[in-house]
Amino acid sequence: DAKTTQPPSMDCAEGRAANLPCNHSTISGNEYVYWYRQIHSQGPQYIIHGLKNNETNEMASLIITEDRKSSTLILPHATLRDTAVYYCIVRVVQDDKIIFGKGTRLHILP
């Protein structure tokens, strides 16, 4: 059981910000929100994770609502290379196994 809900697909224009939503209404207090992406026929790539504060790294920003029931991954300036399936996952600790849901297929349009 993936414990998260994501839209099956989204489009975003190249150069614009891509905002990918995720619902995790049953998240526990000790569970982190992780985001991965999978480019076609490759292994998943870690993007970012957070507990309750907003996080930013060189790839993306993660905005978590105050009640922690949902979050948004933001790719600030999407490029064609960002076309991938994006997975939102909740897990307790970094070494815990990862259960993938269906993810969001993001299409970046030229």
Q: Are 4 and 88 in contact (CB under 8 A)?
A: yes
One of 34, 62, 90, 106 touching other proteins (CB under 8 A): 34
Tokens read off for 108: 């970046």
One of 48, 75, 90, 106 touching other proteins (CB under 8 A): 48
Tokens read off for 79: 């490029």
Q: Kindly state the smallest distance separating residue 98's Cβ from other proteins, in Å.
A: 7
Q: Is 87 in the site for other proteins (CB under 8 A)?
A: yes
Nearer to other proteins by C-beta: 48 or 108?
48
Q: Kindly state the smallest distance separating residue 27's Cβ from other proteins, in Å.
A: 18
Concatenating the DSSP letter of every residue in 31-83 gives PEEEEEEE-TTS--EEEEEESSS-EE-SS-EEEE-TTSSEEEEEESS--GGG-
User: Residue 105, CB half-sphere, CA atoms under 13 Å: how many?
Assistant: 4
Q: Is 84 in the site for other proteins (CB under 8 A)?
A: no
Q: Is 42 in the site for other proteins (CB under 8 A)?
A: yes
Nearer to other proteins by C-beta: 29 or 43?
43
Residues 6+ apart with CB under 8 A from 82: 18, 37, 75, 106, 108
Positions touching other proteins (CB under 8 A) are 34, 38, 41-46, 48-49, 57, 85, 87, 94-95, 97-103
